[in-house]
Structure 1
Amino acid sequence: MSFDTIVVVDWSGAATPSPARPSADAIWIGVARHGDGPASASYHRTRDDACQSLHGLFEAEIAAGRRVLAGFDFPFAYPVGFARALTNSDDPLGLWPALAARIEDGPDNANNRFAAAAALNDLFPGLGPFWGCPSTFDDPRLPPKGTARHGHGLPERRSCEGAPGAQPCWKLYTTGSVGSQALLGIPRLQALRDAFGGTLSVRPFQTHETPITLVELFPSLIAKTVSDMAETGEIKDRAQVRILAETLRALDPATLDAMTREGDAVEGHILGLGHEAVLDQAARRALSPLTPPRLKDDCFTMPQGVDWVPVDAALDKLRAALAPITDRETLPTARAGGRVLATSVTARRSNPPRPNSAVDGYGFAHAATGPGVQRLPLVAGRAAAGQPYAHAVPEGHAIRILTGAILPDGVDTVVLEEDTATDGTTVAFDGPVKPFANTRKAGEDVTEGAEALPAGHRLRAPDLALLSALGIGAVETLRPLRIAVLSTGDELIGDPAAPARPHQIYDANRPMLLELARNWGCAAVDLGHAPDDRAEIARRLDDGAAKADLILTSGGASAGDEDHVSALLRQRANLQAWRIALKPGRPLALALWQGVPVFGLPGNPVAALVCALIFARPAVSLMSGAGWTTPLAMTVPAAFTKRKKPGRREYLRARLTPEGHAEVFKSEGSGRISSLSWATGLVELPDEAVEIAPGTPVGFLPYAGFGIT
Structure 2
Amino acid sequence: MSRFDTVVVVDWSGGNDRGAAPKKDAIWACVARGGSAAAPVYLRNRQVAEDWLHKVFESELSAGRRVLAAFDFPFGYPEGFAAALTGSADPLLLWDWFEARIEDAPKANNRFDLAGEINRQFEGRGPFWFNGLPRDIDGLPRTKSDYHNPFPDRRQAEMRAKGAFTCWQMAGAGAVGSQIFMGLPVLARLRRAFAGQLAVWPFESLEREIALVEVWPSLTVSASPEGVIKDAHQVEMLARGISALTPELLDEMLSVNAPEEGWILGLGHEARLTSLPDAGPELQPPPLRNDCFALPAGVDWTPVDEALALLQERLRPVVSREAVSLMQAGGRVLADDMSALRANPPHPNTAVDGWGFDGSDLGAGPQRLITVDGRSAAGCPYGGVVPKGSAVRVLTGADLPQGVNTVVLDEDVAAGDREIAFHGPLKRGANTRRAGEDVAQGALALAAGRVLTPADLALAAAVGHGKLPVFAQLRVAVISTGDELVEAGADAGPGQIYDANRPMLLQMAERCGYVGVDMGRVADDRSALRETLNQAARTADVILTSGGASAGDEDHVSALLRESGALQEWRIALKPGRPLALGVWDGVPVFGLPGNPVAALVCALVFARPAMGILSGAGWTAPQGYDLPAAFSKRKKPGRREYLRARVRAGRVEVFASEGSGRISGLSWAEGLVEIGDDAQEIRPGDVVRYIPFGSFGL
TM-score by length of 1: 0.65
Task: Label 1:378 to 1:261 Cα distance change in 2 as closer, same or farther (>3 A).
Answer: farther
Distance across 1 between alignment mates of 2:232 and 2:610: 44
Provide the rounded CA distance (Å) in 1 between the counterparts of 2:563 and 2:514. Answer: 30
Does 2:553 match 1:553?
no
Q: What's the counterpart of residue 354 of structure 2?
A: 361
* Residue type of the alignment partner of 1:442: A
- Alignment deviations for residues 216-271 of structure 1 (CA, whole Å, 9 cap, x no partner): 86967459xxxxxxxxxxxxxxxxxxxx9xxx9xxxxxxx9x98684568996669
Separation in structure 2 between the aligned mates of residue 291 and residue 389 of structure 1, nearest angstrom: 52
Cα displacement string for residues 685-704 of structure 1 (whole angstroms, at most 9, x for unaligned residues): 11112222222111111111
C-alpha distance in 1, partners of 2:220/2:245?
23
How far apart are the structure 1 equivalents of 2:247 and 2:254? 17
Corresponding letter in the other structure for 1:384: A
Q: Distance in 2 between matches of 1:267 and 1:654?
A: 71
Partner of 1:696: 687
Residues 505 and 636 of structure 1: CA distance in aligned 2, closer, same or farther (over 3 Å): same
Aligned to 2:656: 665
Aligned 8 A contact 1:592 1:598 in 2: yes
Over 3 Å counting, the alpha-carbon distance change for 1:268 and 1:385 in structure 2 is closer
Conserved? CA contact 1:60–1:472, under 8 Å: no
The answer for the alignment partner of 2:381 in structure 1 is 388
What RMSD, in angstroms, separates the aligned Cα atoms of the two structures? 3.8
The 1:62–1:358 alpha-carbon spacing in structure 2 relative to 1, beyond 3 Å, is closer
- CA deviations over 1:421-451 (Å, ceiling 9, x no partner): 3235332222111121111111111111112
Residue in structure 2 matching 1:594, options 586, 604, 611: 586
5 Å-filtered alignment, 1:487-566, equals 487-493=480-486, 495-566=487-558
Residue 374 (structure 1) aligns with: 367
Which of 414, 423, 435 in structure 2 is aligned with 1:421?
414
CA separation in 1, counterparts of 2:565 and 2:381? 68
Q: Give the SS at the match of 1:691.
A: strand
User: How far apart, CA to CA, are the structure 2 residues paired with 1:218 and 1:443?
Assistant: 38
Residue 125 of structure 1 corresponds to which residue in structure 2? none
Cα distance in structure 1, aligned partners of 2:312 and 2:240: 43
Q: Say whether residues 1:313 and 2:306 are aligned partners.
A: yes
CA positional deviation for 1:313? 0.5
For residue 189 of structure 1, give the secondary structure of its aligned residue in structure 2: coil
1:455/1:93 CA distance change after superposition, 3 Å: farther
**Residue number in structure 1 paired with 2:221:** 189
- The 1-side partners of 2:464 and 2:632 are apart by 53
Supply the distance in 2 between the matched residues of 1:299 and 1:532 (Cα, whole angstroms): 27
- Does the residue aligned with 1:700 lie in a helix, a strand or coil? strand
1:466 aligns with 2:459: yes
Bigger CA radius of gyration: 2
* Partner-residue secondary structure (3-state), 2:360: helix
What SS is found at the alignment partner of 2:322?
A: strand
Question: Could you tell me whether the CA contact under 8 Å between 1:33 and 1:39 is conserved in 2?
Answer: no
- Give SS of 1:373's match: strand
Matched residues in 2 for 1:651 and 1:470: separation? Answer: 44
Distance 1:541 1:571 in 2: 13
TM-score, normalised via structure 2 length: 0.66
- Cα distance in 2 between the residues matched to 1:218 and 1:376: 64
Residues 60 and 504 (structure 1), Cα distance of their counterparts in 2 relative to 1, 3 Å cut = farther
User: Structure 1: how far apart are the matches of 2:69 and 2:477?
Assistant: 34
Q: Determine if the alignment matches structure 1 residue 614 to structure 2 residue 606.
A: yes
Instruction: Check 1:427–1:672 CA distance in 2 against 1; reply closer, same or farther (3 A cut).
Output: farther
Match of 2:630 among 610, 624, 638: 638
Once the two structures are superposed, the pairs formed by residues 132-281 of structure 1 within 5 Å of their partners are 189-191=221-223, 221=246, 262=256
How far did residue 295 of structure 1 move?
3.1
Distance 2:648 2:220 in 1: 56
CA distance in structure 2 between the partners assigned to 1:404 and 1:695 by the alignment: 53
Is residue 323 of structure 1 aligned with residue 316 of structure 2? yes
SS of alignment partner, residue 334 of structure 1: helix
Match of 2:135 in 1: none
Task: Measure the CA separation in 2 of the matches of 1:356 and 1:525.
Answer: 50
Match of residue 394 from structure 2: 401
SS at match of 2:309: helix
Distance 2:670 2:364 in 1: 62
Superposed displacement of residue 542, structure 1: 0.5
Counterpart of 1:344, as a letter, is D
The one-letter amino acid paired with 1:189 is V
3-state DSSP of counterpart to 1:366: coil
Superposed displacement of residue 571, structure 1:
1.7
Distance in 1 between residues matched to 2:612 and 2:236, nearest whole Å:
38
Identity over aligned residues, as a percent? 53
Instruction: State the one-letter code of the partner of 1:318.
Output: L
| Conserved 8 A contact 1:393-1:399 | yes
Indicate if the aligned counterparts of 1:363 and 1:401 stay in contact, CA closer than 8 A: yes
**One-letter amino acid of the structure 2 residue matched with residue 472 of structure 1:** H
Long gaps (5+) in structure 1: 9-30, 43-53, 72-87, 100-184, 202-209, 224-243, 249-255, 274-289
CA distance in 2, matches of 1:683, 1:215: 50
Amino acid at match of 1:703: F
Tell me which of 448, 466, 472 is aligned to 2:441: 448
> For each residue in 1:306-362, what CA deviation from the matched residue of structure 2 results, as whole angstroms up to 9, or x when unmatched?
221100100111112212125211111121112222221121111111111111122
Aligned length: 510
Give the residue type in structure 2 aligned to 1:455.
A
Matched, 1:680 2:681: no
Unaligned 5+ runs, structure 2: 10-28, 54-66, 71-152, 165-216, 270-282
